[in-house]
Structures are given as C-alpha cells and as structure tokens.
Amino acid sequence: MEFIENIQQKSEAERRTIATLIVVVLMAAIIGIWITTFSITPSESVVSASEPSPFSLLWNFMKDSAGQIYK
C-alpha cells in the first residue's frame, strides 16, 4: 500500500511514465511467455512449401519498408 501511496503523490507526468513502463514490462513478459510456449507439432505443420509463413512475410515486409526509407 505504501508503494501505491508514493505513486499517488507524484506528478501526473511521472504517474503516466510509471504506468507506461509497467504496461511495457507486462506486455513483454506476456509476449515472451507466449513465444516460449508456442510450439507446432509436426502433425500440425501442414503448410505447403510454396506458401510462406506469416513470420517470413512480416520479415520481408519490414526489410522492404526499411529499404525504401533509405533510398
């Protein structure tokens, strides 16, 4: 309770910064747990060889976008 009372006494800008940091840390933890538990068994991976994965599509999109920025 003392921690919350200390935060309540801070200025609004500091409280927003603390709230943003807490959200970022929690989101990173949730995404990290999700990625580490994400697994595909061989029976589920029925993606054809000619069909790229969503992650490779995203990666190629990011590379193309970055390439266009620096031209």
Series of mean pLDDT values for 10-residue runs along the chain (71 residues): 91 94 96 80 57 82 73 53
C-alpha–C-alpha distance, residues 50 and 40, integer Å: 19
What is the reported pLDDT for 56? 83
What is the reported pLDDT for 61? 82
What is the reported pLDDT for 28? 95
What is the reported pLDDT for 47? 53
What is the reported pLDDT for 55? 82
What is the reported pLDDT for 27? 96
